[in-house]
Structure 1
């Protein structure tokens, strides 16, 4: 059986962009008679809040989504909150370390800032790590450890990683472009790249549908799947949703949250209609039920570029001056 998931971070209330990804992930599994899992990615305890977890569950249920496993639905692959899965990430680190795939990195923010002028790698806001700590001797590591607790970096394999994304198409990436990446921060927090791979592998996820902004992370995650000896899921990266001004949505703008729309009198079927319209399943923003949207689901119709809320969809969602609000943030 195919298994998909939606994995929000409880750092704010869900907005229409989050709903877009959640609904498409749900549609993908329900149209394939697969299992749908809800996982809470609260790995960063300092930024995650329990009230947002409860609000997320309420917002998704209001849209009509259900899940077969999750933080409030028992399943065979629990727990379904990352803060309760820390031992699994430790085990993965031990496995990687035993195979020589990790090394301590003592670089300070100031040192990394000095390489900010270096060519950017897989991420537009992240220069390629030049391997400053890659070949330190044990003696050098011990000396540096006296003054600073290190982060842990993963040694990326040489060569190219390729995969076929169900939306973006064939992807080929030279792993040297991004350099070695962090899997555990110096403060002890496990990095997203590691935790998401461990969770999806341990939960038997076969299909990962998520936002296009995470497409650059995929080669790194595939490298981790290979290093841990885990099967690689199928990927589908759907477009991010932009506001009427063409800017990215932000959780700090309350007017675009599902709760604010609900309180403004917007019906769940109206939001689903906008999602169906943005995804290319519907010609207009007319209200639609989840059942009807499931019948229209087809990944081939999903745009490969960011989708923008136009005047029609903004009117349905009761949005006004969203772009201006974002900039004032």
Structure 2
């Protein structure tokens, strides 16, 4: 029996925790949620809070996302003690700068027999998966075909420069058991159901599992606090720690943020970008207070508290893992209460800081100057640049699907547009020229006339048939406001059937 039950001798080491986001898009509220609990625990215990960037997934990497992570966490006030931008004794703190470290540890595992080279082609693996699916196999995973290749066979394949990955050699029998300190009973997985996980890809890059374990060990992480979606990966991590002969950290898996219908929080049903809430006028301390309530109880029905008060009262016994629901209506109520509690001077300062920032106001005035006749006209003309959702009633008769497309297809077109902005490196800069180039390319790829799509975009973003130049309008409204409104217009089209 393989076990990782330990009496947390990690308590004898200086407490060190980390968050390790991937720079693959706008910073997610789930990242902020995990960061909050790591930050609070570190501050409560006088420990170290580390930010590490997991950027080895080159296919999903998007330029600018790392800087966005820094910006979002700083806006929330969650400052880290070590990280890529502040340094520290355990750097580098970007995984892409640690490739030599991972290769060294892969060689160590191969020498110890804890891992093996797999030369199977993609075609063989796809066929294997199809066969397992068709037979309704109890285990969908690698069948160990290369697990026991002879030294001679391996040497011949290497001499022939046959591509290979490196896999973890999981024990064929027994169980892997570990303690999650937020759950009452040890968690147990049968080893026969644990896949021989790929640790190093054929391009030499590590997978998440290898890099995560190596980095956590070398950075002295004593407690891993992350989302419960990683519970099924923890046996692989436990086995990796054992293969290296290292002591694992203490595990804490927080509940997964959910929509009102209990499904996983996703941008298809709720805005999930931290910047969405910042740009639409939510205050950082309110957002943190709201997220703290999702998994932590102060007791005595106390819901309103600061991060400092949470640190003072923090105990793991007060943390719940029961599917916390991210309710935008409750967040808005919190924010409204905090606005009403502010002095007029403080409220004025907040408005100047975000909503009425001089640089933004000057940019808006430049769009309106040629289109208004009285000073009083500026406010109504520019009104759609502020706030979130719009009233589409005045333009309902103008909202039409592109020629040859149903309302449902037009709705999907808007959904695709909003999602692809997130993935397109150029469009993510959200400048007028980048948006125009992206939008024209989008029209080509989706076989829709620019004139028809652009009218839908204009109606969705401004609620008007006439406004300043479309892409200038979108850039000044901002990505999160645009995406919210395009989602609203998509919903309206779907309702029409």
TMscore range, shorter length:
0.7 to 0.9
Q: Does 1:33 align with 2:39?
A: no
The correspondence of residues 84-233 of structure 1 with structure 2, limited to 5 A, is 84-107=97-120, 108=122, 109-117=125-133, 118-121=136-139, 127-141=140-154, 146=160, 148-157=162-171, 158-169=173-184, 170-233=186-249
Residues 246-265 of structure 1 mapped to structure 2, 5 A cutoff: 246-250=262-266, 255-265=271-281
| 1:149–1:251 CA distance, 2 compared to 1 (3 A) | farther
SS of equivalent residue, structure 1 residue 128: coil
CA distance in 2, matches of 1:60, 1:71: 14
Tell me how far 1:150 sits from its aligned partner.
1.4
Partner of 2:76: 63
For 1:45, the equivalent position in structure 2 comes to: 58
Query: What secondary structure, in the 3-state scheme, does the structure 2 residue paired with 1:165 have?
Result: coil
* Structure 1 position 173, deviation (Å): 1.9
Q: What residue number does 2:310 align with?
A: 293
Shift of 1:119: 3.8
Computing the radius of gyration over CA atoms, which structure comes out larger, 1 or 2?
A: 2
Alignment CA distance shift 1:311-1:250 (3 Å) = closer
The 8 Å contact of residues 211 and 239 in structure 1, kept in 2 or not, is answered as yes
**Residue 24 of structure 2 is aligned to residue 11 of structure 1:** yes
The 2-side partners of 1:84 and 1:184 are apart by: 16
Number of residue pairs the alignment of both structures matches: 322
List per-residue Cα deviations over 1:261-284 (Å, max 9, x = no partner): 101000011111211211132577
Whether 1:303 aligns to 2:328 is no
Consecutive unaligned residues in structure 2, runs of 5 or more: 1-13, 336-387, 390-482, 492-497
Query: Which region of structure 1 is more displaced relative to structure 2, 281-290 or 191-200?
Result: 281-290
Indicate the RMSD between aligned Cα atoms, in angstroms: 2.9
Which whole-Å CA distance do the structure 2 matches of 1:39 and 1:26 have between them? 14
Cα distance change on mapping 1:112 and 1:106 into 2, 3 Å = farther
| Conservation of the 8 A alpha-carbon contact between 1:89 and 1:198 | yes
Partner SS state of residue 91, structure 2: coil
Tell me which residue corresponds to 2:376: none
| Larger helix share, 1 or 2 | 2
Contact kept? 2:265, 2:326, Cα under 8 Å:
no
Distance 2:260 2:205 in 1: 36
**C-alpha distance in 2, partners of 1:317/1:147?**
61
Q: Structure 2-normalised TM-score? A: 0.59
Q: 1:36-86 CA distances to partner (integer Å, 9 max, x unpaired)?
A: 111001111232234111110111111111111101112110010000011
Cα 1:175–1:77 change in 2 (3 A) is: same
Taking structure 1 as the reference length, what is the TM-score of the superposition?
0.88
Question: Cα distance 1:222–1:260, how it changes in 2: closer, same or farther (>3 A)?
Answer: same
With a CA cutoff of 8 Å and minimum separation of 6, indicate the structure with the bigger relative contact order: 1
Number of the residue aligned with 1:78:
91
Contact 1:253 1:325 (C-alpha < 8 Å) held by counterparts: no
Distance (Å, rounded) in 2 between the aligned partners of 1:166 and 1:275: 21
- Seen in structure 2, the aligned counterparts of structure 1 residues 120 and 89 have a Cα distance that, compared at 3 Å, is farther
Is the 1:183–1:190 contact (alpha carbons within 8 Å) kept by the matching residues of 2? yes
Work out the CA distance in 1 between the residues paired with 2:127 and 2:152.
21
Quote the residue 2:395 is aligned against.
none
Q: In proportion to residue count, which structure has more strand?
A: 1
- Kindly indicate whether the alpha-carbon contact (under 8 Å) linking 1:3 and 1:36 is maintained by their aligned counterparts in 2: yes
